[in-house]
Amino acid sequence: MKIIAVNTPQGMAEAGYELVQQTVEENKHPVLGMATGSSPLGIYALMRKNKLDVRHAITVNLDEYVNLSSEDKNSYHYFMNKQLFHHLSFAQTFIPNGMAQSLEEECKRYDNVIENHPIDLQILGIGENGHIGFNEPGTSFASGTHIVKLTDSTRQANRRFFEKEEDVPTHAITMGIASIMKAKQIALLASGLKKAEAIKTLLEGPVTEECPATVLRNHPNVVIIADRQALSLCSEESFHEHQQVFSISDLLSNSRVD
Ligand code: F6R
């Protein structure tokens, strides 16, 4: 894994955007794995601002709440429309359908989507408990798309978006860990002290299903783009072990800077 330490939210957005831009420009039919939440907002803002040409690109989102329609302002579908799909014209976009009559069938359908559209670059945020997508602690590393019961910690973290506590969904449909690991490249974004513990475990803890993000240590092409606060609990050794790079161009030229 490589680490890019940034000083500002803008720095995180720019580094992430450069990777997206490179993926979109270098591939004939790029497939972008998209995340929702606060972490990728800056990247999406730059995609809009620069009017990135994505007419040949396909997006595959990580997850969606169960029982929220695309018109519900808290659904991830609504989020993606607002952030990107109403602004840029992609060749095709995929989001799991949390309103499907049979959620079991929907999981199968989505696994086929991922199979048929191998992801070139997967953007990830990380939960305070180390979740990726909605793969909560204890999720099998072998999992495909599945239905998840959200933990109290995740529901609490998302509470701020909903009027009442009981409005926060209890279940979600998420790409599985095995599906995420199939992406050719993964960029995980983290900012703020709240993420520091999860980032320390990701970089230094044992690789275990108890912290789903640690699976990324088994992936050959991961870059962690994180601010100083999110990296604040990490030891000097992890910067050496995981190879700190200072910019996306360093990353691309594969030069080692430590
Ligand atoms: C969102 C997702 C989640 C978030 C994570 C971090 O599609 O899959 O795993 O990436 O909860 O959320 P933020 O970025 O809001 O801190």
Q: What angle do CA 96, 43, 24 make, to 5 degrees?
A: 75
The answer to whether the CB of 186 is under 6 A from ligand 1 is: no
CA of 250 to the centre of ligand 1 (A): 27
Is residue 257 scored above 60 in pLDDT? no
pLDDT of amino acid 157: 81
Report pLDDT for 258.
Answer: 35
CA nearest ligand 1 atom 11, residue: 127
* pLDDT tens digits along 17-57: 999 999 999 999 999 999 999 999 999 999 999 999 999 99
pLDDT at 87 over 90: yes
What residue owns the CA closest to ligand 1's atom 2? 133
Q: Give the DSSP H or E segment for 227.
A: strand 222-227
Ligand 1 pocket check for 38: Cβ under 6 Å: yes
Q: Is the model's pLDDT at 213 over the cut of 80?
A: yes
What gap in Å lies between CA 107 and CA 169, rounded to an integer?
A: 18
pLDDT the model gives residue 193: 97
Looking at residue 161, its pLDDT comes to: 86
> Any idea what the Cα angle at residue 63 is, between residues 62 and 68, rounded to 5°?
155
Q: Does 77 participate in catalysis according to the annotation?
A: no
Which of 136, 146, 227, 242 is labelled catalytic?
136
pLDDT 10s digits, 160-204:
889 999 899 999 999 999 999 999 999 999 999 999 999 999 999
Separation of first and last alpha carbons in the chain: 14
Q: How confident is the model at residue 253 (pLDDT cuts 50, 70, 90)?
A: low
Nearest ligand 1 atom to alpha carbon 174: 8
Supply the DSSP symbol for 114. Answer: H
- Catalytic residue, chosen from 77, 131, 146, 242, is 131
The pLDDT, as a whole number, for residue 153 is: 80
Of 143-147, 185-189, 238-242, the one with minimum mean pLDDT is: 238-242
- Cα of 95 vs centre of ligand 1, distance in Å, is 15
User: Which residues, listed in sequence order, are joined to residue 4 by a DSSP beta bridge?
Assistant: 225, 245
Determine the average pLDDT of the residues in 69-98.
97
Confidence of residue 252 (pLDDT cuts 50, 70, 90): low
pLDDT at residue 255, as a whole number: 39
Largest CA distance in the chain: 53
Q: What is the pLDDT of residue 254?
A: 55
Cα 39 to averaged position of ligand 1 atoms, centre (Å): 7
Residue 234 and residue 228: Cα distance in Å, rounded?
Answer: 10
Q: Which amino acid is at 109?
A: R
The answer to whether residue 136 is catalytic is yes
Higher pLDDT, 245 or 29: 29
Give residue 255 CA to ligand 1 midpoint distance, Å.
30
Output the average pLDDT for the chain: 94
Residue 25 CB neighbour total at 10 angstroms: 12
Q: Is 206 helix (H, G, I), strand (E, B) or coil?
A: coil
Contacts of 195 (CB under 8 A, 6+ apart): 126, 128, 226, 229, 230
